[in-house]
Amino acid sequence: MAGLVRMLGGALTGATLVLALGGGAARAGGGGIDWVPCAVNPAVECGTLRVPIDWARPDGATFGLAVARHKAADAARRIGVLVVNVGGGPGTDFVQRDAKTYLSAEILARFDVVGFDPRGTGSSTPVRCSADIVRREPLQAPRDQADFDRLVAYTTELAADCRHRTGPPADHLDSVSVARDLDAVRAALGERTISYHGVSAGTLTGQQYAESFGSNLRAMSLDSTLDHSLSTGRFLISQAANVEDAFGAFTRWCDRDKACALHGRNVTRIWDKLMARADRGALRDPSLPGRVLSDFDLATEAHLGGLMEPAYGWLAKRISSLESGRPGPRGVVRGHPDPELREIEHPAPAACQDWRLKIPDYRRFAVYAKRMRQVAPHMRTQPDTQSFAVTCALWPVTPVNPQHRLTVKGGTPAILLINARHDPAAGHRWAANVRRQLGRRGVLITYEGAGHGVYQRTACTRRAVDDYLLRLRLPADGSGCAPAPSSHDSLKSRSREQGAQPAGGK
C-alpha cells in the first residue's frame, strides 16, 4: 500500500520539528549536488545530496540522498522543477529509464524532471535484511492464535535483523523525514518552489510535503491517492470494499465482452466455487505441479495479477484454467529472494513508521476478517493490505508518523487528485475522503475505469494533469474521464510470477 507529530520522552521528534517550522526550508547537511552523467542513461544527470539521518539533529550524522535530473529540453521555455515519485520507490531509476515514456513531450520540454531515492531505498542507505529470514516469511493470514503467535515471533526476528544490518538510518525512515529530504533537494537546486507529481505510495510523501512545506509548492498532482487518516479497522475494511468493487468491475466486463474466456457464464459463481475448493485444500495449480492454493493465494492472484493493471483477459483465462485443471497462464506466486542473495531491501522498516495499526491478538484479527468478508463476500480481503497491516501491527517499533487527517495551511496551492473509479489498491473512496480533508484546496477528477494509476490511461487523464502542471489550469472539481476502450489485457500472456511483499512506503 503512505504525517503526524509525536512526542517521545518530552523531546521533539523529527515530525514535530517539521511542523513547528511550517513552510520554512529544510537545511541540508552541507553542500549542494555535484552532477555527473548517470551510468544507466548519460542523458540524465545523477548526484548525491548529504542530508541528516535525524532531522531533529541537523548537525549530526548524514547520509547521501541519491538524486537524478532530466533537464528541460526547451530551456528557453523552462517552467522549473517537477519532482516525480511513482510508487515511492527509487526515483533515480524512474528518471533514467521511464520518464521519457511516462511523461508527455511538453512536460519533458518545459520541466527539469527530478527523482530521488527516498531514504531506505535504492542508493539512499537502503534497508538491509537477511534474505534467509525473508524466505521463511509466513502468510499474514493466521487461522488461530498459534498462527498469530508464530507471526509475532517471525516479525520480531525480522525487525531486529533489519535494524542490525541497516544501522541508525533504520530509525528515521518516516514520510516526515522524506518530505524534509525533498525540501532539502529543492533548496539545493536553488528553486523557490517546485511542482510535484506523486503516484500511489508517492502520494503519501506528497501529502506530507504539502502539509509541512505547502508554501514551497507551485503545483501538486496526486494519482491514486492513499488516505493516511484511517484507523486499523477502517483501513482494512475500506480496502476490502475497494478490491471487491474492482472484482465486480471485472465480472461486468466478462458479462458484456466476448473477449472474456468466461463470457456467457456466471463468473461470480465459478469464483466462489474456486474459493470453496481452496478452503478444503483441494485447489491445485495446473501451471505449477505440486502447488496448492489457499483462499489468500487466490485473492492475491486476482488482485495483483488481474485487477491492478487491469489485465482482465489474463484473469479470465487463469480462472478458467483453475476451474478445469487444464494448463493455462502461470499464476502469481508470492516470491522469495534469489537463493544466491544474502541480503535484500525490505519495505516494512520504512512503511511501518507511518502507520499505527493495532491487531493485538488473533481474536481481534478474526473480528476484522469477519467484517472484511461482509463487505467483500467474493474476494474476502485485499491481500496486499492485509499483509501490510498485519506486518505493521506486529512490527516492534513505535511509529513516529502515524495516521491523521491531512491539514494544509495558507500559501499551499490547489492540489489535483485523480483516481480510477475501480482501483483495487487506492479506492475512489480514499481519494474522495482526501478531497474532503483538503477543503477548497482540493480538486478531484475521476477516471471512470479500472486499475491502479491513472495519468497514462487516456488523452483525457493526461491532459487533465498536464494542463494543471504546465499552465496551472484546473479541471472542474468532480469532473471525469471516460474509460479507455479495449484496455483490459495489458499484460497479455506475460508470466505472472512476481513478489508480493507487504506494500507501503514513501
Q: Is residue 324 part of a domain?
A: no
Q: Is residue 133 part of a domain?
A: yes
Q: Which helix (H) or strand (E) holds 416?
A: strand 415-422
- Count, residues in the chain: 506
Q: Which helix (H) or strand (E) holds 449?
A: strand 442-450
What are the cell numbers at 7?
Answer: 512526542
What are the cell numbers at 173?
Answer: 525512515
The closest of 340, 316, 318, 344 to 329, measured between CA atoms, is: 318
The closest of 117, 114, 124 to 190, measured between CA atoms, is: 114
* Pair 197, 85: CB distance under 8 Å: yes
* Pair 424, 458: CB distance under 8 Å: no
What are the cell numbers at 220?
Answer: 501538486
Answer positive or negative: Cα dihedral of 160, 501, 127, 3: negative
Q: What is the C-alpha separation between 252 and 262, in angstroms, rounded? A: 11
Output the tens digit of pLDDT for each of the chain's 506 residues.
322 222 122 222 222 222 222 334 455 545 689 999 999 999 999 999 999 999 999 999 999 999 999 999 999 999 999 999 999 889 999 999 999 999 999 999 999 999 999 999 999 999 999 999 999 999 999 999 999 999 999 999 999 999 999 999 999 999 999 999 999 999 999 999 999 999 999 999 999 999 999 999 999 999 999 999 999 999 999 999 999 999 999 999 999 999 999 999 999 999 999 999 999 999 999 999 899 999 999 999 999 999 999 999 999 999 999 999 999 999 988 767 788 899 999 999 999 999 999 999 999 999 999 999 999 999 999 999 999 999 999 999 999 999 999 999 989 999 999 999 999 999 999 999 999 999 999 999 999 999 999 999 999 999 999 999 999 999 999 999 999 986 565 433 333 333 333 334 45
Neighbours of 334 (CB within 10 A): 17
- From the number of C-beta atoms within 10 Å of its C-beta (0-12, 13-18, 19+), residue 92 rates as buried
Q: Is residue 42 part of a domain?
A: no
H-helix segments, 408-483:
428-438, 459-471
DSSP state of 460: H
- From the number of C-beta atoms within 10 Å of its C-beta (0-12, 13-18, 19+), residue 37 rates as exposed
Count of domains forming the chain:
1
Q: Is residue 378 part of a domain?
A: yes
| Residue 190, pLDDT score | 96
What are the cell numbers at 53?
Answer: 539521518
| Residue 27, pLDDT score | 52
Beta bridge partners of 46: 36, 68
Q: Is residue 139 part of a domain?
A: yes
184: left (phi > 0), else alpha (psi -120 to 50), else beta? alpha
Q: Domain range spanning residue 355?
A: 129-168+338-394
Q: Which amino acid is it at 206?
A: G
Q: Is residue 49 part of a domain?
A: no
| Residue 334, pLDDT score | 74
Q: What is the C-alpha separation between 418 and 226, in angstroms, rounded? A: 12
Q: Is residue 203 part of a domain?
A: no
Q: Is residue 152 part of a domain?
A: yes
